[in-house]
Structure 1
Amino acid sequence: MQSIKPQDKYRAQYYQRLKPVLIHIHRQPDEPLTLDKAAALSHFSRFHFQRIFSALMGESLTQYSNRIRLERAASLLFFHPDKNVTEIALDCGYSSSANFARSFKDHYGITPVSVRKTERLRQQLAQHMAPQKLNIELLLQLQAQRMSTHMPDETPVPTRIMNVDTRDLCTLRASEGYHLEGIWQCWEQLHQWAKAQGLDAGHITKLGFGHDNPLFTPLDKARYDGALVIPATLKAAVSEPFRLSTLNSGQYAVFSYDDLASNLLPFQLALYSAWLPHSGYEPDDAPLIEHYNQPITDSNAEDPSTRSIALEIWLKVKPLRAGV
């Protein structure tokens, strides 16, 4: 296994110090994080924290916090039609629906209501409003699926619903978000780690975790983790830049996918807009998982966006609760 350069080790330690700050932002978007509290969580000087955060994350603390709040709000708007705009605004830390609507339009270029209503969205497009930071064609397609009173003909159907026990994972964060090149590099490093531990990469369970909704999150900002299921005896062998984590136990709906890589995102989002509303289930608190049951390879001679891939998608679910 290749040795870690000292400068890479130190950089990883900086990211590790910022981890409590990022966890707070993602788990408590309704609680604005002050500079003093962020500095205290990271144990960096408050006089230098902003420069450190911007240098490592590519955004200021305020920009990062606001983006996460708005991305969460956008997902709530689309996937939780039972919540009104004011509820979502307050849940995401805005003092009023007016302040939320203004921030949302400044960020995405459209109003919050247009995320839900196709007619309103088309009116804004006709007025030459310029949507940004979202996939407008895909949003229109998903709106049409969601408004259907019956299950669409092309709705993904799970091959099985399975129960999974907790499993130990060796995890690595992709350096370029959801961009395919960074994901291939992530898996190359994981394969090298597995080989160094004497594992057969062809027979080890390989999982990919997508933590963000790319309908509303820029691909380079989205968080993707590659992970190998490992035996307990190898837990001590997991060190930087890799992380030891766990696959949560529970019930998973499993879907098969064998198509172009460029069509994978619409397929995944169709699980939420077309399958879930008719399934009797609701998503549990866990990211969407890709199970790579076929070899993961990269071909420099082939455009990744036009290549075919075969995998399974695991969606953690629980029985739908009525009247919540």
Structure 2
Amino acid sequence: MEEHQKRIIKAIKYINHNLDADLSLEKIAEIGMYSPFHFHRIFKLIIGETLQNYIIRKKIEKSAFYLAVKKDRDIKDIYLDLGFTSHSVFSKTFRKFYGVAPSVFRNNAPETFHKILMTESKNGQKDVVFSPYIWQIENLLNWTKMNLKIEVKQLPEMNLAAVMSLGIASVETSYHVLIEWAEKKKLYPAGNVKMISVYHDSFKVTPPDKVRIHACMLLDERLEKQEGVVFPETIDPGKFIVGSGEVTLQDFEQCWVSLFLWMNERGYTMRKTFPFEIYHSNFKEHPEGKMIVDFCIPIH
């Protein structure tokens, strides 16, 4: 836990002190010693906003400081130094945070603005800025211990019937199509049927409504060919981090981030294949909307 606190705080400090430098996801993830895929999810959960939103907010806050304290400095010099490409982009973004144009803010900034910011930046006060993030990490890891059983397992080959979904909102519809197909084949309901969601895109680079998620059903035998929109898919055997627990749909993001933290903490790296979820029960049949799920990350 202490190691994750150090990594996240190191990344935040780098951002805060280098707002005019390269602040790409890849660079910040490197500073925090995470892979970009893991870091963007961890950052959002712990900080409460995306990396990009955080960077923009910090740039605008710094510009407000300069507008209030360095009144003789040209506004253009301020926004160019902070990476804004034009006055219109800077002004529009500034208005979102402060409700007025930069020039109006500068004319009305109180004399106490400078003193307040300086007080917050004293050496004895710096840790206060990071305490909410440390609490978030502690809270997340404690939640993980209480709600997930995490193991490294060797999983066998899995033969699946799959229907592709574009975006989270379409997953339920894809499962309905899959179940209708399985009912006609007399594969559903039959025994302990397992449903599996396989993630073929990263939310880091693909818009939520374009992310490819395969709604799948575990089969006893391989599906030989595509039947309509239902096609065969195989999960190769290998080593996986498996986090198992009874959770609600709202807990899923927290579960995935917990597993990434656990993986990094123990020095594992993710294989270049797809993470997936195995569902052992239906949340619609539980009074509290909970379901038993295995969250699986392929590792070396």
Shift, 1:226, TM fit: 1.0
Distance 1:82 1:269, change over 3 A: closer
In structure 2, relative to structure 1, the CA distance for the partners of 1:308 and 1:83 (3 Å cut) is closer
Q: Sort the Cα spacing of 1:81 and 1:284 in 2 relative to 1 into closer, same or farther, 3 A.
A: farther
- Mapped to 1, the partners of 2:253 and 2:205 lie a distance apart of 12
Q: CA deviation at 1:80?
A: 4.8
Q: Which position in structure 1 is the counterpart of 2:67?
A: none
Structure 2 residue corresponding to 1:171, chosen from 162, 176, 180: 162
Task: Rate the CA distance shift 1:192–1:117 in 2: closer, same or farther, 3 A.
Answer: closer
* C-alpha contact 1:74 1:216 (8 A) present in aligned 2: no
1:200/1:286 CA distance change after superposition, 3 Å:
same
Check if 1:284 corresponds to 2:275: no
Structure-2 separation of matches of 1:183 and 1:218: 15
Larger radius of gyration: 2
Which residue among 40, 54, 59 is the counterpart of 1:124?
59
User: Quick check: 1:293 aligned with 2:280?
Assistant: yes
Whose helix proportion is higher, 1 or 2? 2
* Secondary structure at 1:159 match in 2: strand
Q: 1:315 to 1:275 in 2, by over 3 A?
A: same
Q: Which amino acid aligns with 1:312?
A: D
TM-superposed CA distance for 1:239, in Å, is 1.5
Displacement after TM superposition at 1:160 (Å): 2.4
For the pair 1:192 / 2:180, whether they are aligned, the reply is yes
Q: Deviations over 1:61-89 (max 9, x none)?
A: xxxxxxxxxxxx976456554889xxx9x
CA–CA distance in structure 2, aligned partners of residues 220 and 117 of structure 1? 20
Contiguous gaps of at least 5 residues in structure 1 = 1-72, 89-113, 132-140, 319-324
Corresponding position of 2:18:
none
Distance 1:239 1:255 in 2: 33
1:196/1:277 CA distance change after superposition, 3 Å: same
Q: SS in structure 1 opposite 2:142?
A: coil
Shift of 1:307: 4.2
Cα gap change, 1:172/1:209 in structure 2, threshold over 3 Å: closer, same or farther?
A: same
In 2 relative to 1, CA 231–266 (structure 1 residues): closer, same or farther, beyond 3 Å?
same
1:315 aligns with 2:297: yes
Return the alpha-carbon distance in structure 1 between the equivalents of residues 232 and 52 of structure 2: 39
* Contact kept? 1:165, 1:250, Cα under 8 Å: yes
Equivalent position SS for 1:162? strand
Shift of 1:256: 1.9
Distance 1:251 1:263 in 2: 24
TM superposition shift of 1:209: 0.8
Residue matched to 1:244: 232
1:268-288 CA distances to partner (integer Å, 9 max, x unpaired)?
A: 13322x212212311111222
Aligned residues: 197
How many Å separate the matches in 2 of 1:297 and 1:307? 6
Q: 1:78 touches 1:116 (CA, 8 Å); kept in 2? A: no
Large movers: runs of 4+ above 4 Å: 73-84, 127-131, 155-158, 296-299
* Partner residue of 2:151 out of 160, 170, 179: 160
Whole-Å separation in 1 of the counterparts to 2:157 and 2:266: 25
Question: What SS is found at the alignment partner of 1:168?
Answer: strand
1:224 Cα deviation (Å)?
Answer: 0.8
State the Cα deviation string for residues 247-291 of structure 1 (Å, max 9, x = none). 11101111123333123123213322x212212311111222110
CA contact (8 A) 2:202 2:211 kept: yes
RMSD after superposition: 4.2
Structure 2 CA distance for partners of 1:291 and 1:218, relative to 1, 3 Å = same
